Amino acid sequence: MDITFYNTSVTNRTSGSWSIVCDYTQLERTLQQAAVCAADLGHQILASFTQPITLCDPLDIFTTFQSLHLGDCFFWAYPAEQRVLVGTGTATTITTSGPNCVGTAATTWRDLQKYAVCGQASQTSLYTNGPVFFGGFAFDPLSSHTPLWEGFPDGLLVLPRLLFHRDETNAALTINTMIQPDTEIKEIIEEIRTTLQRLSIIPEQTITQSQKRADAVDLQQRLVMHDLLLPATWMAQVANAVHIIKEGAFQKVVLARAIQVTNQEQAFDIAAVLRRLCEHYPTAYVFAILRGERYFVGATPERLICGADRQIQTMALAGSAPRGTTEEEDQRLGNELLQSSKNQGEHRVVVTTIHDALANICSRVWVAGTPRLLKLKNIQHLETAITGNLLPGHSILEAIEDLHPTPAVGGFPRQPALAAIRAYEQLDRGWYAGPIGWIGASGNGEFAVALRSALIDGNQATLFAGCGIVAASRPESEFAESCLKLEVMLRGLGWEG
């Protein structure tokens, strides 16, 4: 296939072969080495084998994984740099619960990596080689749980059976499996061979641009939306939060709301949702994870943490304004955001909190001098870059444990703000506003804050958005801001209002 992932001018995609030439000799050598290690230790060992492959459209791979029903799958992309991970099946999982769910996951992850055997057919420049775990964590493990988020535990890291990964110039397929002391390696290899043969055909997907436009109009007519909490009730929550803040309980709290969108005729096409999000929001992290029958999908602008070569990078993202309809209006709105005392104060709280959290696990922390504007399709934010040098013995998972939830998604101070959310919000956030992303064998990884997201179950989607409430907040303005944020996933679902 010669499709460019983010080339929106491509109008026809047809079935074809996905060329996978696996080095079975090197694969067998890797598995045999893991079997020897497992026998010596008397317990199972993680084996991971990476094979360079030809470049192809990751969303076609995602669709193929879906159609073959190989198990739960996930998608992770940063479209602007064409960095993508697509996984399916389950080699092993790390499932945790309770307030220490991130720390427990970090310990289990280290134990699995300790004796892992990794091999590859030839050198690749991809920094996602080897076993890559993908998953996420609940926003607040101590909050009340409802059936809405069934199957999404407090903490979950999944090692996929198959992982497709690519950047602008390279692509590879990683095969992961757990080897027991008595595993028959020949049987494992034949199973892998059969699976790769099944993956060699990309399902047919042919559509013209005129059909896309007609389908978009038709889809929009089929979408029905309603608020889970009446707008007046939510705005009353905001007014109450402002009152509590002025009494000195805390400085900021983030209140979220949700809407439900129903497709009256058919289930949402997750691959189509992801393609729209990638096209509309190339500088966001676009993600999807399937658990049972439900997908958690989003396009979030907020990186929580990125780690490579012992250096971690994060960002403070707080303070929002709409985009202008003209260049002059857009510049005016951006300047007003930069000069807004309310938004600047909210932003400084986030910057300070992140800096102090990183100081616990870093030898040095750098903060950019002034915030800049992060401009997205329909909204702009204040953003400040923050970096640090990770101390030995720590990973990005420990960084997540210290950072989450930042004041941008929880409030400040943290504990009284979280207590207020539990008491007043009337919403099961689940994984919304929680960390989502991946961690690789060397500790490299990337986690974002799961904003601008939706939980999709067949023909029904629950969309989430939140706003930072401070003493100067006005309920009507906060409600309007939440509507801007909901537009991201509405566009992903096919709404073009």
Return the active site residues. 252, 302
Query: Helix/strand/coil (H, E, C) string of the chain?
Result: CCCCCCCCCCCEECCEECCCCCCHHHHHHHHHHHHHHHHHHCCCEEEEEEEECCCCCHHHHHHHHHHCCCCCEEEEEEHHHCEEEEEECCCEEEEECCCCHHHHHHHHHHHHHHCCEEEECCCCCCCCCCCCEEEEECCCCCCCCCHHHCCCCCEEEEECCEEEEECCCCEEEEEEEEECCCCCHHHHHHHHHHHHHHCCEECCEECCHHHHHHHHHHHHHHEEEEECCCHHHHHHHHHHHHHHHHCCCCCEEEEEEEEEEEECCCCCCHHHHHHHHHHHCCCCEEEEEEECCEEEEEEECCEEEEEECCEEEEEEEEEEEECCCCHHHHHHHHHHHHHCHHHHHHHHHHHHHHHHHHHCCEEEEEECCCCEEEECCCEEEEEEEEEEEECCCCCHHHHHHHHCCCCCCCEECHHHHHHHHHHHCCCCCCCCCCEEEEECCCCCEEEEECCCEEEEECCEEEEEEEEEECCCCCHHHHHHHHHHHHHHHHHHHCCCC
Residue environment code for 442-453, b if the CB has 16+ CB neighbours within 10 A, otherwise e = bbbbbbbbbbbb
